[in-house]
């Protein structure tokens, strides 16, 4: 399927690895010009080179912490006016409800709620003027089915989800769509470290921990960054103009629900 977005300009935040990289790769395959961001310059440049070599698109890199005002200013400066914005950042650490103080919540809200809102606020007016735009926020399956030890993430992502629910309906008539993409467990560095932690906790090998994790999913496996990226690219395509304010869950059916 031709996604109809060749030549469009996209920013993919937090994209040197994992799900962000998967989204960048799929958008590049569709012919989109990219601005990529991550804190570490080396991995970011390596990913940019890999994407240029694979798809021949123009890729600009900005090494910066997207969760800071200074980092966002650098990224926005290099971006100019975008057609497509994919919001992403690392998730807050796990813990127990008694661990989290005011400042921990502020940090989580800054990273996973206020950062994507600030980037949308900066880019939506230009998209509205052009009469076309796509925003995809990478959130988490925990928005639908909370993970108790991720209370900071649950809280911040719920806030973003509420913002998107309203704002997406205010901008839809201008040809601009905002949706969230909710990953269940995917095969990124995070999945490896979770399997390592489970192996240590349960006194089993990492392979055994990964096998137990995989068999708990209806598909018998975890997702890939390429599958995740392809879904993101479709949500950014010309075909997805009637998809507004949705929370698209990509978890292999792990969340057991009829709706
Ligand atoms: P990942 O493989 O660890 O990759 C994270 C990427 O984000 C890296 O490129 C990293 O590069 C960059 N990054 C992290 N913090 C950043 C910051 N403050 N500013 C700029 N770039 C930053 O992570 P992932 O698995 O793709 O997860 C992406 C998001 O999805 C996270 O919020 C995670 O909580 C959520 N999620 C993931 C899964 C999963 O199974 N993978 C499931 C549910 C939710 P640098 O470190 O160099 O900055």
pLDDT tens digits for range 7-38: 999 999 999 999 999 999 999 999 999 999 99
Residue with token string 């995917």: 186
If asked whether residues 218 and 230 sit together in one domain, one would say: no
Residue 145 Cα to ligand 1 middle (Å): 20
Dihedral angle, C-alpha 247, 248, 251, 254, nearest 10 ° = 60
The whole-number pLDDT of residue 259 equals 86
**Which protein residue's CA is at the shortest distance from atom 33 of ligand 1?**
91
Distance, CA of 166 to CA of 145 (rounded, Å)? 21
| Cβ 89 under 6 angstroms from ligand 1 | yes
Q: Is the CB of 65 under 6 A from ligand 1?
A: yes
- Is there a single domain that holds both residue 120 and residue 165? yes
Is residue 1 in a domain? no
Q: Is 137 in the pocket of ligand 1 (CB under 6 A)?
A: no
Does residue 27 sit in the same domain as residue 114?
yes
Global pTM value? 0.98
Q: In this structure, is residue 3 part of a structural domain?
A: no
* Band (75; pLDDT cuts 50, 70, 90): very high
Which two tokens mark 80? 């100019």
Q: Does 257 map to a domain?
A: no
The verdict on 80 and 199 lying in the same domain is no
| Per-residue CA distances from 218 to 69, 140, 213 (Å) | 41, 18, 11
Question: What was the pLDDT predicted at 88?
Answer: 98
CA 167 / ligand 1 centre spacing (Å): 25
Residues 122 and 229 in one domain: yes
pLDDT of residue 67: 98
Q: What is the CA(249)–ligand 1 centre distance, in A?
A: 17
For the residues 184-194, what does the mean pLDDT come to?
A: 92
Which pair of tokens denotes residue 92? 């807050």
- Altogether, the residues listed in the chain come to a count of 259
Is the same domain home to 22 and 123? yes
Q: Do 205 and 244 reside in the same domain of the chain? A: no
91: in domain: yes
Rounded Cα distance, 35 and 48, in Å: 9
Distance 13 CA to ligand 1 centre (A): 9
Residue 258 lies in a domain: no
Q: For ligand 1, atom 7, which residue shows the shortest CA distance?
A: 14
- What is the residue whose two structure tokens read 């694979």? 54
Does one domain contain both 74 and 177?
yes
Does some domain include residue 80? yes
- Kindly give the distance from the C-alpha atom of residue 123 to the centroid of ligand 1, in angstroms, as a whole number: 22
The parent domain of residue 218 ranges over 188-222
Query: What is the structure's pLDDT at 215?
Result: 97
Ligand 1 pocket test, pick from 16, 88, 90, 152 with the greatest ligand atom count within 8 Å of Cβ, gives 90
Is the same domain home to 159 and 218?
no
Decide: 194 in ligand 1 pocket, CB within 6 A: no
Q: How many domains does the chain have?
A: 2
User: In the prediction, which pLDDT does 194 show?
Assistant: 86
Confirm whether 4 is domain-assigned.
no
Q: What is the mean pLDDT of residues 210-220?
A: 97
**Which one-letter DSSP state was computed for residue 239?**
G
Q: Give CA–CA dist 76/137, Å, rounded.
A: 17
In a domain, 255, yes or no: no
What is the CATH number for 127?
3.40.50.720
My answer on whether 53 and 146 are in the same domain is yes
C-alpha distances in Å from residue 253, one per residue of 218, 234, 259: 6, 20, 11
Mean pLDDT throughout 126-144? 98
Looking at the structure, do residues 130 and 200 belong to the same domain, yes or no?
no
Residue 182 DSSP symbol: E
Neighbours of 220 (CB within 10 A): 10
Do 200 and 154 sit in the same domain of this protein? Answer: no
């Amino acid at each position: 399927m031709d996604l109809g977005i060749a030549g469009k300009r996209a920013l993919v935040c937090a994209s040197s690895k994992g799900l962000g990289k998967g989204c960048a790769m799929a958008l590049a395959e569709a012919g989109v010009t990219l601005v990529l961001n991550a804190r570490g310059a080396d991995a970011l440049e390596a990913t940019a080179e890999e994407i240029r070599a694979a798809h021949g698109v123009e890729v600009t890199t900005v090494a910066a912490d997207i969760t800071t005002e200074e980092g966002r200013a650098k990224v926005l400066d290099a971006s100019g006016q975008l057609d497509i914005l994919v919001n992403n950042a690392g998730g807050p650490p796990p813990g127990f409800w008694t661990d989290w103080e005011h400042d921990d919540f502020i940090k989580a809200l800054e990273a996973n709620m206020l950062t994507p809102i600030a980037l949308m606020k900066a880019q939506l007016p230009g998209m509205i003027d052009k009469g076309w735009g796509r925003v995809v926020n990478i959130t988490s399956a925990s928005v639908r089915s909370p993970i108790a030890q991720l209370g900071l993430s649950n809280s911040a992502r719920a806030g973003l989800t509420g913002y998107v629910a309203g704002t997406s309906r205010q901008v839809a008539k201008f040809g601009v769509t905002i949706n969230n993409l909710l990953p269940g467990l995917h095969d990124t560095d995070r999945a490896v470290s979770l399997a390592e932690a489970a192996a240590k906790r349960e006194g089993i090998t990492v392979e055994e921990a990964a096998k137990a994790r995989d068999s708990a999913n209806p598909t018998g496996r975890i997702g890939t960054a390429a599958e995740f990226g392809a879904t993101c690219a479709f949500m950014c395509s010309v075909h997805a103009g009637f998809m507004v304010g949705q929370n698209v869950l990509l978890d292999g059916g792990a969340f057991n629900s009829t709706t």
